[in-house]
Structure 1
Amino acid sequence: MEDRAAQLDELIMELSALCDLLAHDSRCEWRRHFVSCLRQAEALAATPHDQPSLNMLSGSVMSVFGGMGSFNDYVPFKHGRLIAGMEALDEASGRVYQAALALRVIAARD
């Protein structure tokens, strides 16, 4: 069985990096969501946690990816230019998504 604590630590690290990147754009409305998820993840890491709690956290993180008007549509531009410091946004958001997905368990069907 995979080490859920290590996976949770990985998600915390990736969320923290993404929040730091998003701080470069003072108008970014998505940062609040990811900071909230980071706080939830940190709280889970500090206490004994169960799989349903990890699944809820994973779902919360992943809920803003995909579909019209989602975080995937966010473009960090100001005055027609990429905001300085945001060059790694795609990679960082991809790592957050993958780390959240790793926490999720899909029950096997008979």
Structure 2
Amino acid sequence: MPDRRAQLDTLRIHLGALVAMLRLDWDCTWTRHFESCLSRAELLAKDAPDQDALNALSGAVMHVFGGMGSFNDYAPWRNGQVIRGMEGLDAASGAVYDAALELRRIDA
């Protein structure tokens, strides 16, 4: 059985890193979404969340990835250059997605 508390902690760490990065772009419309997800994760970490609550958090995180107009389309550019400090955005967002997916995975 997976350690859901450890998985939630991993997601919290990755969300925190992503939020810190997104805050470097004052025009980023996605920051608020990930801040909200981080707040939800922090609240869940204070209790003993059930799998339904963890699945809801995972779904909230993951639903902005994929499709036209999604977070995947976000480009951290200003004046023709990547915003300083956001060079690792792809890795950070990938880590958030993977951690959210792992949190909802049910192993047989």
Q: Shorter-chain TM-score: which interval? A: over 0.9
Report the Cα offset of residue 48 of structure 1. Answer: 1.5
Q: Write the distance in 1 (CA, Å) between the matches of 2:106 and 2:3.
A: 16
Deviations 1:55-103 (A, max 9, x none): 0000000000000000000000011111000000000000000000001
Report the Cα offset of residue 105 of structure 1. Answer: 3.3
Which residue number corresponds to residue 13 of structure 1? 13
Which residue number corresponds to residue 24 of structure 1? 24
Q: Write the distance in 2 (CA, Å) between the matches of 1:46 and 1:31.
A: 23
The residue type paired with residue 91 of structure 1 is A
Paired residue secondary structure (2:44): helix
Q: Write the distance in 1 (CA, Å) between the matches of 2:105 and 2:97.
A: 15
Paired residue secondary structure (1:54): helix
Q: CA RMSD in A?
A: 1.1
Instruction: Name stretches of at least 5 consecutive residues in structure 1 with no aligned partner.
Output: none
Q: TM-score, normalised by structure 2?
A: 0.97
Q: Write the distance in 2 (CA, Å) between the matches of 1:61 and 1:27.
A: 20
Q: Write the distance in 2 (CA, Å) between the matches of 1:106 and 1:3.
A: 11
Q: Write the distance in 2 (CA, Å) between the matches of 1:98 and 1:104.
A: 10
> Identity of paired residues, percent?
60
1:100 and 2:105 are equivalent in the alignment: no
Which residue number corresponds to residue 86 of structure 2? 86
Paired residue secondary structure (1:32): helix
Instruction: Name stretches of at least 5 consecutive residues in structure 2 with no aligned partner.
Output: none
1:75 and 2:72 are equivalent in the alignment: no
Q: TM-score, normalised by structure 1?
A: 0.95
